[in-house]
Amino acid sequence: MADYFPEVTKIIFEGRDSKNPLAFKWYNPTQSVLGKSMEEHLRFAVAYWHTLKNQGGDPFGEGTMDRAWNGFSDPMDRARATCDAAFEFVSKLGVSYYCFHDRDLAPEGASFSESCDNLEQMVTHAADLQKQTGIKLLWGTANLFSNPRYAHGAGTNPDFHVFAYAAAQVKHAMSATRELGGENYVFWGGREGYETLLNTRLKQEQDQMAAFFSMCVDYAKEIGFTGQFLIEPKPKEPTKHQYDFDSATILNFLQTYDLIDHFKLNIEANHATLAGHTFEHELTVAAAAGKLGSMDVNRGDPLLGWDTDQFPTDLYSAVYAMLEVLSAGGLGSGGMNFDAKVRRASFEPIDLFYAHIGGMDAFARGLVIAANIIEDGFLEDFKEQRYQSWADGGAAVLAGQSSLDTCEEYIKTHGEPVVPSGRQEYLENILNTFI
């Protein structure tokens, strides 16, 4: 095992009274909640790109991060050191999963085939470390947005040549994910969108994207990749308008192109808020369609209009999210990936531990609170009562056995409806008693 974090041994659960900043106060992996362990409920994953690769640069200044594993001039030496640091970090944190883009794991080479070789070498390296540590791959994905060739998009590129490049790259990223036993494969279309309609054929680009996905479905079958395909909605950034805007948009796209059976959604908190939704809204829309696959847990800043990717420490948001996850019956093969980065001024390696510990504790606590709320049943009871008339008079309508005529008959017999209060404040007050 590498030794990039000498000041940390292993993060353990010490309970809420502990003053140790390098211990969990709430996340106790073996604690049972509604009949399942916390570890099974939460399925945390570390995001390779932010935690290992992010240098802390912003448009106004260069990187600030103190990362010893970057101190190698040869790109493949650096990639191996980074991978070693990743597995040391994830092991010490006590998390079972990690996630990567192909280009996080291995650098792009001078040619396509050199890039593929690099990736293949790093897959072997990571497979070894997975074996040694028991750490698993939650999902893999391809970076189809950083290289300048993708300036006009990947699957939605106006040039078929670039489209083919992206497809070939995904082929290898998917194979790498399969070789490493990845439980899911994610598509996030960073540049699948447009800046101006003056140069864009929207319908053509959407047709291309559908063709791209459908080739991916075929390839997964061909290589026997049985992991879940996930699409991650985001409305904007880097492009002005992205085709995978939000859950509802993606569900419609998948229906339109007859791809719905092959995909679920990976919902990211900060992307939800960029789309003008709450995290729980996006989770609920996905779950309502039976398509809640996984989550990128982070948070935005309400004062900033971009993907700040902060660590999720907002307890309310965690409670609302866990209510949805529990109601949906869990995340299946999905998990909770910390698609989050430490702030530019939090540049010490130890800050990576504080950040993840805080996020894990917030969701562990959110899970316990959500479970208490569900066990108490006050929300469900309230909703049951609120929709009661649909079990009575409305049942025939839902069964498709009514008409506008029968509704008119109903009104003639029953007259003016009695409208009850929504009781929002009352419910919020009860919710607070659980927090």
Sole binder of ligand XLS in the list 307, 324, 335, 342 (CB under 6 A): 307
- Nearer Cβ to Ni ion, position 282 or 339? 339
Based on the shown chain and the rule CB under 6 A, indicate whether residue 280 belongs to the binding site for ligand XLS.
no
* Rounded Cα distance, 334 and 230, in Å: 9
Q: By the 8 A CB rule, do 206 and 156 touch?
A: yes
- Active-site residue, from 41, 50, 102, 104: 104
Sole binder of ligand XLS in the list 175, 339, 356, 364 (CB under 6 A): 339
What number of other Cβ atoms are within 10 A of residue 425's Cβ?
9
DSSP character for 357? H
* Rounded Cα distance, 98 and 82, in Å: 13
Based on the shown chain and the rule CB under 6 A, indicate whether residue 234 belongs to the binding site for ligand XLS.
yes
Based on the shown chain and the rule CB under 5 A, indicate whether residue 307 belongs to the binding site for Ni ion.
yes
- Nearer Cβ to Ni ion, position 88 or 296? 296
Tell me if the bond preceding 349 is cis, omega within 30° of 0.
no
* Rounded Cα distance, 151 and 117, in Å: 24
Based on the shown chain and the rule CB under 6 A, indicate whether residue 157 belongs to the binding site for ligand XLS.
no
Based on the shown chain and the rule CB under 6 A, indicate whether residue 102 belongs to the binding site for ligand XLS.
no
Tallying the residues shown for the chain, one arrives at 435
Helix pair angle (424-434, 378-386), 10° resolution:
160
Q: By the 8 A CB rule, do 4 and 353 touch?
A: no
Sole binder of Ni ion in the list 296, 326, 335, 356 (CB under 5 A): 296
Instruction: Reply yes or no on whether 104 is catalytic.
Output: yes
Q: How far is the CB of 186 from ligand XLS (least distance, A)?
A: 6
- Active-site residue, from 41, 50, 101, 281: 101
* Segment interacting with Ni ion, rule: CB under 5 A, options 12-20, 268-276, 323-331, 388-396: 268-276
Residue 141 site contact among Ni ion, ligand XLS, none (CB < 5 to 8 Å, cut-off depends on kind):
ligand XLS
- Nearer Cβ to ligand XLS, position 291 or 365? 291
Based on the shown chain and the rule CB under 5 A, indicate whether residue 244 belongs to the binding site for Ni ion.
no
Interface with ligand XLS in residues 105-144 (CB under 6 A): 141
Based on the shown chain and the rule CB under 6 A, indicate whether residue 88 belongs to the binding site for ligand XLS.
no
Interface with ligand XLS in residues 352-411 (CB under 6 A): none
* Rounded Cα distance, 207 and 212, in Å: 9
Q: How far is the CB of 158 from ligand XLS (least distance, A)?
A: 22
Interface with ligand XLS in residues 182-201 (CB under 6 A): 186, 188
* Segment interacting with Ni ion, rule: CB under 5 A, options 102-110, 112-120, 122-130, 338-346: 338-346
Based on the shown chain and the rule CB under 6 A, indicate whether residue 268 belongs to the binding site for ligand XLS.
yes
* Segment interacting with Ni ion, rule: CB under 5 A, options 102-110, 117-125, 204-212, 299-307: 299-307
* Rounded Cα distance, 299 and 304, in Å: 11
Between the alpha carbon of residue 389 and those of residues 147, 229, 384, 414, 418, the distances in Å are 56, 39, 10, 13, 12
- CA proximity to 141, closest of 160, 119, 157: 119
Q: In the structure, how many helices (H) and strands (E) does the chain have?
A: 17, 14
Q: By the 8 A CB rule, do 362 and 370 touch?
A: no
Give me the residues that bind ligand XLS (CB under 6 A), please: 101, 141, 186, 188, 232, 234, 268, 296, 307, 339
Tell me the catalytic residues: 101, 104
